[in-house]
Amino acid sequence: MTRLLIATNNQGKLREYQQMLADLPYDLTTLRDVGIDDEVEETGTTFVENAQLKARTYAAQSGLLTLADDSGLEVAALDGAPGVYSKRFGNIDGDGERYQFLLDKMAAVPQGQRQANFRCLICIIAPDGREWLCDGRLDGEIAFAPRGNNGFGYDPVLYLHNLGKMVAELSMEEKNRISHRARATECAKAILAEYAKS
């Protein structure tokens, strides 16, 4: 079975990929499995650049078919911030402190002007150098207070109108059907299914 390197140290993200890619004929491998413990510095200014940077670096280090992503939250009232800086927003460590910093920045923004979306860009690189990109997004709005205990990152503060729930109130199964990562992964699955036949 072909090994597929899932190039992340984020355990929440890893669990989501393991579930979403479970029906493909791949042996999912982690960075730890292949002895890579250095983090690629995300110096890109777009999700595409960061996903490519991670995929190219880890593919070169491992020699394996590699899937890497870059994802984040884009808030309209903040001109698309935090965007690619979502994980480092406000130079704060810790999900709760980071989304509270966001809520504080959004405190004066009224209902109806709090549109936001999660975005995920996946880059897949084959050992022969072929490269594919997949894009996914999930639209919602920033709530006034966090709710829900599932997920990670900004999940407790993105409200989904069509479901009447925060992302953090979705079950893993629900989230893996509709999330930005799920939508990008649908595209990735089609690519990986074709690759498995080659």
Token digits for 134? Answer: 């997949």
β-strands 26-30, 165-166: how paired?
Answer: unpaired
Distance CA 95, CA 89 (A): 10
At residue 151, the pLDDT reads 85
Band of the pLDDT at 130, cuts 50, 70, 90?
very high
* Mean pLDDT, rounded, for 51-71: 96
Catalytic residue among 23, 27, 69, 70: 70
* Mean pLDDT, rounded, for 65-70: 97
- Indicate whether 15 pLDDT > 90: no
Write down the CATH number for the domain with range 2-197.
Answer: 3.90.950.10
* Mean pLDDT, rounded, for 168-188: 94
Q: Are 156 and 133 in contact (CB under 8 A)?
A: no
Token digits for 126? Answer: 């084959």
At a CB cut-off of 8 Å and minimum separation 6, what does 79 contact?
none
Distance CA 31, CA 8 (A): 7
| 70 included as an active-site residue | yes
Distance CA 50, CA 127 (A): 19
Put simply, whether the predicted model's pTM sits higher than 0.85 gets the answer: yes
Distance CA 109, CA 78 (A): 10
Token digits for 46? Answer: 């777009």
